[in-house]
A and B are shown apart, each in its own frame.
Chain A
């Protein structure tokens, strides 16, 4: 108990966020770094804890895809029965130092990026981005999806791992600082960071003594995958926020995530406890033929990017995607980022935003301020079809439920002796 006030504790948490220094070390099979995979059939999922029956269709679809990928079943029906039987243990990614995009379904043999926060010595993990179209994270589980997952397991993961071993670990802060100046906000838009990543990695990849076709495929995949960096950003944000939440005091939000059913947050002072409320459905722009009626409720651990201060909080950094806020454009983005400063504690000077007069990203969401002001965090997000496997149907923004913040504030107040 070294802090006198909550403000002091919050400041300490925020200092840790600023000091955070994530490095990309390796890409490894999930079971090599997460012990839980060694005990029976295990799947990780995004968001706070949930049971299979409460999962929405795209997340169930992803579970089935993972079961097929792991070879637990050879057809969809059997895979579904297996999932319904309860034989598969479901664990939130967040409980095992990981984060997962959209459904967040992660299985033992999927390759994960390994990011180490060198300030606090902790590590965090995330699967790699599969590209767009029919992908597991949106609940697709057809042969094309499973084949790609196998290729990622057999080729992409090992190639990136080898390439990373031939060079210094990749300093992620440097990539973030560069790409924010090139118009990325790291949730909706990662193209600059993805290209910077490719630029960093390609000399190492082409120098590897491996099959030429594999090299070409890997380079082509990285060149095609605009959002490849998102998952590295997520793991990096997770590593920094987990480092910061070693301080178990104060009201800074240390995680925000959703499982399609509930939105969960953690605050520093309440450690591992989740505070939840029902998820909202995103608002945004839809591809032709789709509307909000087709949209899946909000899901994914990717809101760790907003927790870290990018994504919706850095909307102003990415003029190219500001239209997702509404149809207003630049000034709507400005207002969004300005609003977010009202619920955050500080600016991170390591990541100045040129379009914001070089102001640093806003960090340290204070749950007290959210409750006090009624201003909810703005999260940039992809929008999935509510039916499994039909993929992305749009993109937009979504808010967490106020209830989660209210519960967190009340619980912490009570923990400190508040009596109603």
Chain B
């Protein structure tokens, strides 16, 4: 049944009325509807649409006409009311969150809009990464390259190129960084401060910056180098330039260097450079147990110690050997067969640290593991669930807890398991509520063991700060409610686990040797490189969440929605390259 409602002298734009019509059509009980101004041409459209009524004829061009086909007349008032609400909402404006953002789709535009950005973040598929890094370097940008799968030859070539241009290439495969207090890629929010960090390890940087933050100090710049920088083929190009940069940054008082042990060919150079720094340096070569400090170059064994020595030095205090807080041994009643520790990590460096401490303390003499299995000896096990072997076709364990939960359940069923170690990494790029995702499984693992007369210690640490986008204290609370023994940092968690199984870590303070001479001179630092230290503006090429993290933290990022040229069509790419270079005078 057709009904006509005429709103006299109620002018609305025709497009608004078309949108209104589309909306009213979706209402239950409405068979057909059309809202238009009552012009002669519109009346024809009503008729063509099968909505001709007698009342319609009376409408004037200044009247808004609703012709409505409903079976139930009671609906008419409701529809008219909804129409009015809709029109009111339309006139109240469009609340578009993204309205002010800067977004580009081409290099030309990116370089125009972000010409004042000293740093480009690149997270494009690996096969394209090298050429995009090169474009960014050619444009005079320092580059933070999150993309992986770049060959080490390309890495060496691009880093050399960056160095010659007075620029820095962080990465490839650089997972985290902090520039001028702003989070780059997967990073924690930490307060700004006087400790400067260079690191070849993602979660290593995160753990150290988070501990420094918890101790009341801060980090303004944490420079990631990518994991292969100190390999012989790359020669630590980025590491060295970064040390020089931090050494010349007037706001840096203490330098922290985090790396796996450098290749033999690079090691002397790298250590000599650290010795050449004007500022005190704390170095940790992950996996290596240091034997002595030198005046001005202090050596740490764990990430916790790294952070604490750095904060001590900032306060004018040399390392005392008491940086490690004595571990409080929790009361866990183990059955005689419960001997083993299982570590299920989402952070690679944290897994590595756990494996190192366990290996050394237990005297396991285990070889370095492969394929994500960082330690596997007898029943002891440490897995890096973020390794490629575990992430094929599934999200990273910092985002998705499925694999970790599987591992925990099977470890819980093993009657020889004494303790399970976990890391909960907060910050940008990770899930909102990892503790909540793990909670039920933790409770179940403990309950199942208890049903069989065993007690299992689940020991965890949260890598993060109270400034992170996640709710740090809520994560703590959730874990404690699940019965987790929560430790302040990873080293503490591992030591706690070792204490539970009856192998507490022996601490021996290191001697401080006199200052050692250095044979190298600190490299010069270009102005363009220095601009990175105070950058507020970034060009983000690829993953949009990286731009969001910067924008949310008070910086500004131009988002480049990157796509492969010509949709990846090789013939067209070649034709374009040809056209861009062809000389028209000679070409034909």
Q: Is residue A151 within 8 Å, beta carbon to beta carbon, of the partner chain? A: no
Residues of B within 8 A of A132 (CB): 41
What are 30 of the A-B contact pairs (CB < 8 Å)? A3-B585, A4-B585, A6-B584, A8-B584, A287-B18, A288-B34, A288-B45, A288-B51, A289-B48, A289-B51, A320-B15, A329-B94, A341-B109, A342-B106, A342-B108, A342-B109, A368-B579, A368-B580, A372-B576, A409-B572, A409-B579, A410-B572, A410-B575, A413-B575, A413-B582, A415-B588, A416-B578, A416-B584, A418-B582, A420-B571
* Contact (Cβ within 8 A) B575 A409: yes
Q: What per-residue 1/0 map shows which CB atoms of A246-264 lie under 8 Å from chain B?
A: 0001010000000000000
* Contact (Cβ within 8 A) B109 A289: no
Q: Is residue B81 within 8 Å, beta carbon to beta carbon, of the partner chain? A: no
Q: What per-residue 1/0 map shows which CB atoms of A27-54 lie under 8 Å from chain B?
A: 0000000000000000000000000000
* Contact (Cβ within 8 A) A289 B94: no
* Contact (Cβ within 8 A) A288 B49: yes
Residues of B within 8 A of A120 (CB): none
Q: Is residue B44 within 8 Å, beta carbon to beta carbon, of the partner chain? A: yes
Residues of B within 8 A of A324 (CB): 15
* Contact (Cβ within 8 A) B582 A5: yes
Residues of A within 8 A of B580 (CB): 6, 368
* Contact (Cβ within 8 A) A327 B19: yes
Q: What's the Cα separation between A391 and B32 when bound, in Å?
A: 20
Interface 9-mer from A75-83, A167-175, A196-204, A331-339:
A331-339
Residues of A within 8 A of B410 (CB): none
Across the interface, name the chain B residue whose C-beta is closest to A8.
B584
* Contact (Cβ within 8 A) B105 A375: yes
* Contact (Cβ within 8 A) B588 A371: no
Q: Is residue B25 within 8 Å, beta carbon to beta carbon, of the partner chain? A: yes
Residues of B within 8 A of A369 (CB): 106, 108
Q: Is residue B502 within 8 Å, beta carbon to beta carbon, of the partner chain? A: no
* Contact (Cβ within 8 A) A373 B106: yes
Interface size class of B (residues with CB under 8 A): 35 or more
Across the interface, name the chain A residue whose C-beta is closest to B112.
A341
Residues of B within 8 A of A178 (CB): none
* Contact (Cβ within 8 A) B103 A372: no
Residues of B within 8 A of A412 (CB): 579
Interface size class of A (residues with CB under 8 A): 35 or more
Q: Is residue A71 within 8 Å, beta carbon to beta carbon, of the partner chain? A: no
* Contact (Cβ within 8 A) A4 B584: yes
Which B residues lie at the A interface, using CB under 8 A? 13, 15-16, 18-19, 21-22, 25, 32-34, 41, 44-45, 48-51, 94, 96, 98-99, 103-106, 108-109, 563, 565-567, 569, 571-572, 574-576, 578-580, 582-585, 587-588
Residues of A within 8 A of B569 (CB): 406
Q: What per-residue 1/0 map shows which CB atoms of A401-420 lie under 8 Å from chain B?
A: 01000100110110111101
Q: Is residue A390 within 8 Å, beta carbon to beta carbon, of the partner chain? A: yes
Residues of B within 8 A of A375 (CB): 105-106
Q: What per-residue 1/0 map shows which CB atoms of A106-134 lie under 8 Å from chain B?
A: 00000000000000000000000000110
Q: What's the Cα separation between A390 and B50 when bound, in Å?
A: 13
Besides the known contacts A372-B576, A413-B578, 5 further A-B residue pairs in the complex with CB atoms under 8 A apart: A287-B45, A289-B49, A327-B19, A342-B106, A413-B576
* Contact (Cβ within 8 A) A368 B576: yes
Instruction: Report the minimal beta-carbon distance from B539 to chain A, rounded to whole angstroms.
Output: 15
Residues of A within 8 A of B105 (CB): 339, 342, 373, 375
Q: What's the Cα separation between A320 and B17 when bound, in Å?
A: 12
- Give the contacts of A132-154 with B (CB-CB under 8 A): 132-133
* Contact (Cβ within 8 A) B32 A288: yes
Q: What's the Cα separation between A303 and B45 when bound, in Å?
A: 26
Q: Is residue A180 within 8 Å, beta carbon to beta carbon, of the partner chain? A: no
Instruction: Report the minimal beta-carbon distance from A25 to chain B, rounded to whole angstroms.
Output: 31
Q: Which of A285, A372, A394, A416 has the most CB of B within 10 A?
A: A372
Q: Which of A321, A409, A418 has the most CB of B within 10 A?
A: A418
* Contact (Cβ within 8 A) A9 B584: yes
Residues of A within 8 A of B587 (CB): 416-417
Q: What's the Cα separation between A288 and B109 when bound, in Å?
A: 41
* Contact (Cβ within 8 A) B563 A374: yes
Q: A6-B579, A6-B584, A371-B566 are in contact. Are A288 and B25 (CB under 8 A)?
A: yes
Q: What's the Cα separation between A6 and B301 when bound, in Å?
A: 60
Q: What's the Cα separation between A417 and B587 when bound, in Å?
A: 7
Q: What's the Cα separation between A321 and B14 when bound, in Å?
A: 9
Across the interface, name the chain B residue whose C-beta is closest to A323.
B15
Q: Which of A9, A287, A375 has the most CB of B within 10 A?
A: A287
Residues of B within 8 A of A5 (CB): 582-584
Residues of B within 8 A of A72 (CB): none
Q: A331-B96, A418-B575 are in contact. Are A374 and B567 (CB under 8 A)?
A: yes
Q: A368-B580, A420-B574 are in contact. Are A342 and B104 (CB under 8 A)?
A: yes
* Contact (Cβ within 8 A) B576 A289: no
* Contact (Cβ within 8 A) B32 A285: no
Q: What's the Cα separation between A335 and B100 when bound, in Å?
A: 10
Instruction: Report the minimal beta-carbon distance from A270 to chain B, rounded to whole angstroms.
Output: 12
Q: What's the Cα separation between A375 and B562 when bound, in Å?
A: 12
- Give the contacts of A382-402 with B (CB-CB under 8 A): 390-391, 394, 402
Q: What's the Cα separation between A371 and B574 when bound, in Å?
A: 12
* Contact (Cβ within 8 A) B32 A371: no
* Contact (Cβ within 8 A) A288 B579: no
Q: What's the Cα separation between A371 and B584 when bound, in Å?
A: 20
Q: What's the Cα separation between A248 and B128 when bound, in Å?
A: 35
Instruction: Report the minimal beta-carbon distance from A2 to chain B, rounded to whole angstroms.
Output: 8
Instruction: Pick the 3 closest A-B CB pairs, nearest first.
Output: A288-B34, A289-B49, A413-B575
Q: Is residue A330 within 8 Å, beta carbon to beta carbon, of the partner chain? A: yes
Q: Is residue A1 within 8 Å, beta carbon to beta carbon, of the partner chain? A: yes
Q: What's the Cα separation between A338 and B45 when bound, in Å?
A: 35
Residue in B16, B25, B45, B584 whose beta carbon sits within 8 Å of that of A3 in the complex: B584
Residues of B within 8 A of A285 (CB): 15, 18-19, 22
Instruction: Report the minimal beta-carbon distance from A418 to chain B, rounded to whole angstroms.
Output: 4
Residues of B within 8 A of A327 (CB): 19
Q: What's the Cα separation between A6 and B588 when bound, in Å?
A: 13
Q: Which of B22, B565, B579, B587 has the most CB of A within 10 A?
A: B579
Across the interface, name the chain A residue whose C-beta is closest to B564.
A374
* Contact (Cβ within 8 A) B41 A4: no
Q: What's the Cα separation between A388 and B369 when bound, in Å?
A: 73
Q: What's the Cα separation between A321 and B18 when bound, in Å?
A: 12
Instruction: Report the minimal beta-carbon distance from A187 to chain B, rounded to whole angstroms.
Output: 14
Q: What's the Cα separation between A417 and B21 when bound, in Å?
A: 55
* Contact (Cβ within 8 A) A133 B98: no
Q: A372-B576, A374-B563, A409-B579 are in contact. Are A290 and B15 (CB under 8 A)?
A: no
Across the interface, name the chain B residue whose C-beta is closest to A287.
B45
* Contact (Cβ within 8 A) A321 B15: yes
Q: What's the Cα separation between A281 and B232 when bound, in Å?
A: 58
Instruction: Report the minimal beta-carbon distance from B249 to chain A, rounded to whole angstroms.
Output: 37
Across the interface, name the chain A residue whose C-beta is closest to B40.
A133
Across the interface, name the chain A residue whose C-beta is closest to B49.
A289
Q: What's the Cα separation between A329 and B44 when bound, in Å?
A: 28
Across the interface, name the chain B residue whose C-beta is closest to A343.
B106
Instruction: Report the minimal beta-carbon distance from B35 to chain A, rounded to whole angstroms.
Output: 8
Across the interface, name the chain B residue whose C-beta is closest to A290.
B49
- Give the contacts of A1-21 with B (CB-CB under 8 A): 1, 3-6, 8-9
Q: A4-B584, A288-B33 are in contact. Are A251 and B579 (CB under 8 A)?
A: yes
Residues of A within 8 A of B44 (CB): 133
* Contact (Cβ within 8 A) B588 A331: no
Instruction: Report the minimal beta-carbon distance from A397 to chain B, rounded to whole angstroms.
Output: 13
Residues of A within 8 A of B21 (CB): 287-288
Instruction: Report the minimal beta-carbon distance from B234 to chain A, rounded to whole angstroms.
Output: 32
Across the interface, name the chain A residue whose C-beta is closest to B96.
A331
Q: Which of A9, A321, A373 has the most CB of B within 10 A?
A: A373
Residues of A within 8 A of B563 (CB): 373-374
